[in-house]
């Protein structure tokens, strides 16, 4: 089911976390953040929205790294109800798509809840002080790739890297709802 996150709450501080990565290491936000910004992407392996844009996300993350912006991907979906999103399949997904950034497993879903993640993909763009400056989409693609689409996420994070502030006009991301565990 498609879901839309709220737009950017400028200045909201990124909650800290410590999560295992698909490479076997444990990562903390404080050790991953970039000097000029940090992009946190809540994604999963099975979502058609994520599958459509994953190549562009990897491209943008690689280019943003050169601007001092770190990228972190987090998988928070319930792996019992959605086995395609389990930790072993996260490892395969990262390898298949050539991730140049950590892909972390939020097994308890506590990080997704702390960030109020709504969908996959759900992008949170922070400045160097870990203040939220972007909560929009990667580009106009949904479940079908839009050729030559404006690189909204990249442009926003480039602006954040250069000025510490994100664009005031943002279009919400759209994707599959986060698959929460049963209470």
Instruction: Spell out the domain ranges in the chain.
Output: 2-177
Q: Are 103 and 121 in contact (CB under 8 A)?
A: no
Q: Note the pLDDT tens digit of each residue in 121-130.
A: 999 999 999 9
Q: Note the pLDDT tens digit of each residue in 24-37.
A: 999 999 999 999 99
Helix or strand or coil: residue 6? coil
Q: Are 103 and 22 in contact (CB under 8 A)?
A: yes
Tell me how far apart the alpha carbons of residues 70 and 32 are, in angstroms, rounded to a whole number.
7
Q: Are 77 and 120 in contact (CB under 8 A)?
A: yes
Q: pTM, whole model, 2 decimals?
A: 0.96
13: burial class by Cβ within 10 Å (0-12, 13-18, 19+)?
A: exposed
ω into 121 cis (within 30 of 0) = yes
Span 107-120, average pLDDT: 97
Q: Note the pLDDT tens digit of each residue in 79-108.
A: 999 999 999 999 999 999 999 999 999 999
Fold entry, domain 2-177:
Glutaredoxin (3.40.30)
């Amino acid at each position: 089911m498609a879901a839309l996150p709220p737009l950017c709450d400028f200045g909201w501080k990124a909650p800290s976390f410590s999560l295992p990565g698909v490479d076997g290491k444990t990562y903390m936000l404080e050790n991953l953040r970039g000097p000029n910004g940090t992009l946190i992407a809540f994604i999963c392996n099975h979502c058609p929205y994520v599958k459509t844009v994953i190549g562009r996300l990897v491209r943008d993350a690689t280019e943003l790294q050169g601007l001092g912006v770190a990228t972190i991907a987090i998988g928070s979906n319930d792996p019992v109800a959605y086995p395609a999103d389990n930790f072993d399949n996260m490892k395969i997904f990262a390898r298949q798509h050539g991730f140049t950034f950590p892909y972390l497993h939020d097994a308890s879903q506590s990080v997704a809840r702390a960030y109020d993640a709504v969908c996959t993909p759900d992008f949170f763009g922070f400045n160097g002080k870990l203040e939220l400056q972007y909560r929009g989409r990667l580009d106009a693609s949904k479940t079908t790739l839009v050729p030559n689409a404006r690189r909204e996420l990249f442009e926003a994070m480039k602006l954040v890297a250069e000025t510490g502030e994100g664009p005031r006009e943002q279009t919400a991301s759209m994707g599959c709802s986060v698959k929460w565990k049963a209470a």
